[in-house]
């Protein structure tokens, strides 16, 4: 039988912080540690199996509550796999939607970049893309500036001049 591990030795072995282990223990993901006569936590070596499960479950996006539920089922002798498969299927569906949205965003970015790189004013006016909208805002502000206070522009050719 292997020797019990202090919280710091277990943390080092698992590649996590002692704070993480105490948190996981506090929310029920890890079995309660035994205490030494001086009050220090010591974990049974089997706790490493729990930590390995938690670390693997994190890589597929399971929540801490889902992990806890799976551990509770397993500790009661029930098969947690059917619920795990439901969670994974739900996560897969969400990921598929996110991938679809990201692909659409990438396409819009590429189209916009191509449009902007051509400096084609007719395409810009037709598409009402971001650069055009910014230009429209600037032109609108400059037109309104005729009715308001004069603004000093520090652009080449305008230094020291005012423009309404």
CA-wise closest residue to 7 among 32, 41, 34, 38: 41
DSSP string, 90-149: HHHHHHHHHHHHHHHHHHHHHHHHHHHHHT-HHHHHHHT-HHHHHHHHHHHHHHHHTTS-
- Per-residue pLDDT band for 151 (boundaries 50, 70, 90) equals very low
Would you state the pLDDT for residue 87? 96
Full set of structural domains in the chain with CATH: 5-76 (1.10.1660.10), 89-163 (no CATH)
Whether the Cβ atoms of residue 92 and residue 61 lie closer than 8 Å to each other: no
83-115 tens-digit pLDDT: 999 999 999 999 999 999 999 999 988 887 777
- 56 in helix, strand or coil? helix
| Residue 45 to residues 23, 39, 68, 113, Cα–Cα distance (Å) | 18, 19, 19, 56
pLDDT digits (tens, 9 = 90+) for 43-89: 999 999 999 999 999 999 999 999 999 999 999 999 999 999 999 99
């Amino acid at each position: 039988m292997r020797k019990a591990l202090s919280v710091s030795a277990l943390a080092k072995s698992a590649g996590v912080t002692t704070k993480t282990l105490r948190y996981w223990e506090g929310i029920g993901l890890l079995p309660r540690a035994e205490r030494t006569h001086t009050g220090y936590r010591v974990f049974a070596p089997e706790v490493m199996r729990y930590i390995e499960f938690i670390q693997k479950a994190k890589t597929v996006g399971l929540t801490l509550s889902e992990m806890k539920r799976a551990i509770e089922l397993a500790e009661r002798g029930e098969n947690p796999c059917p619920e795990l498969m439901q969670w994974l299927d739900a996560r897969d569906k969400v990921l598929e939607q996110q991938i679809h949205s990201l692909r659409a965003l990438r396409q819009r970015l590429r189209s916009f970049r191509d449009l902007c790189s051509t400096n084609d004013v007719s395409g810009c006016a037709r598409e009402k893309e971001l650069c055009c909208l910014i230009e429209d805002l600037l032109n609108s502000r400059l037109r309104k500036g005729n009715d308001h206070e004069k603004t000093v522009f520090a652009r080449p050719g305008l230094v020291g001049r005012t423009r309404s």
